[in-house]
A = this chain, B = another copy of it.
Amino acid sequence: MRIDNLQYANWSEKIFRQMNDGAVNAVHVTIAYHENFRETVLNIEQWNRWFEQYPDLIFAGRWASDVQLARETGRTAIFFGFQNPSPIEDDIGLVEIVHALGARFMQLTYNNQSLLATGCYETHDTGLTRMGKQVVREMNRVGLVVDMSHSADRSTIEAAEYSSRPIAITHANPFDWEPARRNKRHAVIEAVTSNGGMLGFSLYPHHLKNKTDCTLTSFCTMIAKAADTYGIEHLGLGTDLCQDQPDSVVEWMRVGRWSRDIDYGEGSASAPGFPDMPSWFTDNRDFANIEQGLAEVGMQPDEVNAIMGGNWYRFYEESFTPSPL
């Protein structure tokens, strides 16, 4: 089973075919960075058109069982997520609404302070706000996963402890391996995984040792070490694949409508665009390379399968349905 728990590509039939060619059973796709509720619904409408246009390639994923259905029918189940809580605006009732529309992951922050918590680029970290605690409880109730990939340390640790259901860091790597601002310190990963949560390893070059030049062996050795440290059952992939996106999109991701100044995020004035992906992972057909790399650093087949999708599948089973009363 292959599940990629984070992509934000410039979607096209070509990419959907590559998902199928790569035998990717499920992808969690980002459908909002800074969009408000109505704009997010417009993005869902666009996905509905793609589901209608390419029924042999993709369909709307709602439950873990849809991953099995995708495998049985040779297609890819698409699960929606937000990298920011902007789609719920200031209205906690929208948590249940967006879940009904297919949202399964929502970051409490994207780099900046939000109404709910603090992003990883802020100077001061409030932890969960008053509304943040209410929204985490509501997300727990309806089955919308708390994702802290772009959040600050204290906020992440508090969310992991406050949430009654396991949370996720869908796309980031250990800070100990590569000290990028978006990578996660030991105490943060420990808080998430010790409470049953998941870490999805990112292939976004800014999160990799030596960025685009990162070797497959270095990446897979890092995963094997994380398995020893945190337990393999808490680990999966969230490649952050942003295939075919123009550089205008990374500017939207970073700046949205919140700033009059350019913010380069993980880039810089001299390299403001999307970085090139490592040669061994450029699109959805390259997951076999990672499987081979994991085997070469000593992982057993069942361990490789757990990393490639088995763990996310179990997490989907536990996380997407409403909480029992």
Q: Which residue numbers of A lie inside 8 Å of B, CB to CB?
A: 37-38, 41-42, 44-46, 48-49, 55, 91, 93-94, 96-97, 100-102, 325
How many copies altogether?
A: 2
Interface of A is mostly: helix
Beta-carbon contact of B97 and A49 below 8 Å: no
- A-B complex: 4 closest residue pairs judged by Cβ atoms: A45-B93, A48-B96, A100-B101, A41-B97
A142 vs chain B, min Cβ distance (A): 9
Residue of B nearest to A100 (CB): B101
Interchain residue pairs with CB less than 8 A apart (23): A37-B38, A37-B41, A38-B38, A41-B94, A41-B97, A42-B91, A42-B93, A44-B97, A45-B91, A45-B93, A45-B94, A45-B96, A45-B97, A46-B93, A48-B93, A48-B96, A48-B97, A49-B93, A55-B325, A100-B100, A100-B101, A100-B102, A101-B101
A22 vs chain B, min Cβ distance (A): 26
Please name all residues of chain B whose beta carbon is closer than 8 Å to the beta carbon of A325 when the two chains form the complex. 55
Known: A45-B91, A45-B97. 13 other contacts (CB 8 A): A37-B38, A38-B38, A41-B94, A41-B97, A42-B93, A44-B97, A46-B93, A48-B93, A48-B96, A49-B93, A97-B101, A100-B102, A101-B101
A55 vs chain B, min Cβ distance (A): 7
Please name all residues of chain B whose beta carbon is closer than 8 Å to the beta carbon of A38 when the two chains form the complex. 37-38
A218 vs chain B, min Cβ distance (A): 43
A143 vs chain B, min Cβ distance (A): 14
Residue of B nearest to A37 (CB): B38
A91 vs chain B, min Cβ distance (A): 7
A68 vs chain B, min Cβ distance (A): 21
Please name all residues of chain B whose beta carbon is closer than 8 Å to the beta carbon of A94 when the two chains form the complex. 41, 45
A35 vs chain B, min Cβ distance (A): 14
Please name all residues of chain B whose beta carbon is closer than 8 Å to the beta carbon of A96 when the two chains form the complex. 45, 48
C-alpha spacing A45/B100, complex, angstroms:
11
Residue of B nearest to A89 (CB): B38
Please name all residues of chain B whose beta carbon is closer than 8 Å to the beta carbon of A42 when the two chains form the complex. 91, 93
C-alpha spacing A97/B40, complex, angstroms:
11
Please name all residues of chain B whose beta carbon is closer than 8 Å to the beta carbon of A45 when the two chains form the complex. 91, 93-94, 96-97
Please name all residues of chain B whose beta carbon is closer than 8 Å to the beta carbon of A41 when the two chains form the complex. 37, 94, 97
A137 vs chain B, min Cβ distance (A): 13
Residue of B nearest to A142 (CB): B48
A156 vs chain B, min Cβ distance (A): 28
C-alpha spacing A44/B100, complex, angstroms:
11
Please name all residues of chain B whose beta carbon is closer than 8 Å to the beta carbon of A44 when the two chains form the complex. 97
A134 vs chain B, min Cβ distance (A): 14
C-alpha spacing A48/B44, complex, angstroms:
21
Residue of B nearest to A45 (CB): B93
Residue of B nearest to A93 (CB): B45
